Amino acid sequence: VLPRTYEGENCSIARALEVIGERWTPLILRDAARGTRRFEDFQAKLGIARNILSARLGRLCEEGLMERRRYQERPPRDEYLLTEKGRDLEPVLLGLMRWGDRYAAPDGPPVVLTHDPDGHPVEPVLVCAGCGEPLTPGSVATHPGPGAAGGLSASPGT
Amino acid sequence: VLPRTYEGENCSIARALEVIGERWTPLILRDAARGTRRFEDFQAKLGIARNILSARLGRLCEEGLMERRRYQERPPRDEYLLTEKGRDLEPVLLGLMRWGDRYAAPDGPPVVLTHDPDGHPVEPVLVCAGCGEPLTPGSVATHPGPGAAGGLSASPGT
C-alpha cells in the first residue's frame, strides 16, 4: 500500500486524487479512452520511461480502473483495457480538456470532439440530473454526508 | 517559469494539469469554492506547511485562477478569491467528487451537495449542450483541432 498523499482528508476529491493524481496517470487514462491498449503504444505516445509506465499501469490495474488481458500466447502479449471504474473518469478528463481549451490553448483546441450519431460538435456542460439546470458554483451548497463522521472538509451553506 | 511537467504534450488535458496538478492545489481550489478566503483558514483546514501553501496560492494568483485582495491595512491582511478562471474548474472538482463518492467512499459520501433554489440533492451529469444527451465514452470521437499543428495526441475516430 502506498503512503497516502492526503493523509487525514475525509474527502472524495482527495480520495480520487490518491488514485489518479500521480504524474502521467491522467494521460494514460486519456489515451486508453481514445483506444490505446498496448504497452508499446502507450509508451510511444507518451514518451515516458518504461518503468514508470509499467508502475502506473500496474497501479491502475490494482485499483480496478484498468484490466490486463492476454491477447497472444507466443510470445506472451498483454493489453490494458479500461473498466467501468476507469471509464467513469471520462467526465473529469473532459472537464480538464474543456478548461484547457478555454484557458491554455492560444492556437485553438488541439483536439475537437464530435458526438454520435450525427457527429455534431461536443460542448460538455455539467448539469444537475434532478432538475436539468447547469451546475454553477454559486448554486451548490455543501453539507455533511453519511461518511462525514470523524472529520469533514465541508463548509455547510457556503 | 516552472519546468513543464508534460513537455511536448500538445493537449488541453496536459496543459490544465500543468496548472492544477501540483499536490494540494486541487484541495485549495475546493476550499476556496466552499468559501475559504484567508491564508490562516486555508492553513488550518489543510494542515499543510505555510511555505507550501504560500507557494501554491502564489502560483494560482500568477496563473489567474485566484486574486489576492487586501481587506485590512493595519496590520496588512490579504484574502484570496477565485476568479472566473478558477471557478471554471468547478466541473472538474465535482467530477472528481462524484467519482470518489462512487468508488472511494465505503462509509458513504463525506459531503453531499444540494442545488438552489429548493435544495434538492445534486446529481452531476455531463451532457452535450448541443443535443442535451449525456456524454458517454463510446459516443464521443476525437479529431485534430485548430491547435493541432506540431503534434497531436488524438486518435481520430476512436
pLDDT digits (tens, 9 = 90+) for B130-154: 898 988 878 899 999 999 975 544 4
Element containing residue B142 per DSSP (H, E): strand B140-144
CA distance B42 to chain A (A): 11
> Among the listed ranges A61-70, A135-144, B47-56, B100-109, which one has the minimum average pLDDT value?
A135-144
| A37 and A44 Cβ atoms separated by less than 8 Å | no
- Terminal CA-to-CA distance of chain B, rounded, Å? 35
Best mutation target, B11, B38, B62, B82, to test chain A (most A CBs within 10 A): B11
Give CA separation, B109 vs A21, A155, B24, B27, in Å: 20, 15, 20, 17
Dihedral sign (CA A123, B136, A84, A10)? positive
Question: pTM of the entire structure?
Answer: 0.91
Q: Which residues contact A98 (CB under 8 A, 6 or more apart)?
A: A124, B12, B91
For B36-45, how does the pLDDT look when each residue is reduced to its tens digit (9 = 90+)? 999 999 999 9
Nearest to A5 by CA among B148, B26, B130, B96: B26
What pLDDT is stored for residue B1 in this prediction? 52
B28-37, B114-123, B125-134: which has the highest mean pLDDT?
B28-37
What is the average per-residue pLDDT within B32-39? Answer: 95
Cβ neighbours of A66 in B, within 8 Å = none
Report chain A's mean pLDDT, rounded to a whole number.
90
What pLDDT is stored for residue B3 in this prediction? 65
Alpha helices by DSSP H, A4-120: 12-20, 25-33, 39-46, 50-62, 84-87, 90-103
Give the mean pLDDT per block of 10 residues along chain A (158 residues): 77 96 95 95 95 97 97 93 96 95 95 92 90 86 88 44
CA distance A7 to chain B (A): 10
Map grid coordinates 499543428 to a residue: B149
Q: Which residues contact A158 (CB under 8 A, 6 or more apart)?
A: A141, A142, B34, B35
What pLDDT is stored for residue B33 in this prediction? 94
What pLDDT is stored for residue B150 in this prediction? 56
What pLDDT is stored for residue A65 in this prediction? 98
> Among the listed ranges A65-79, B42-56, B100-114, B116-130, which one has the minimum average pLDDT value?
B116-130
What pLDDT is stored for residue B156 in this prediction? 41
- Rounded to whole angstroms, the Cα distance separating A37 from B33 reads 37
Size of interface A-B (CB pairs under 8 A): 324
- Rounded to whole angstroms, the Cα distance separating A13 from B99 reads 8
- Rounded to whole angstroms, the Cα distance separating B126 from B141 reads 16
ipTM score? 0.91
What is the average per-residue pLDDT within B63-82? Answer: 95
What pLDDT is stored for residue A153 in this prediction? 47
Amino acid at A34: R
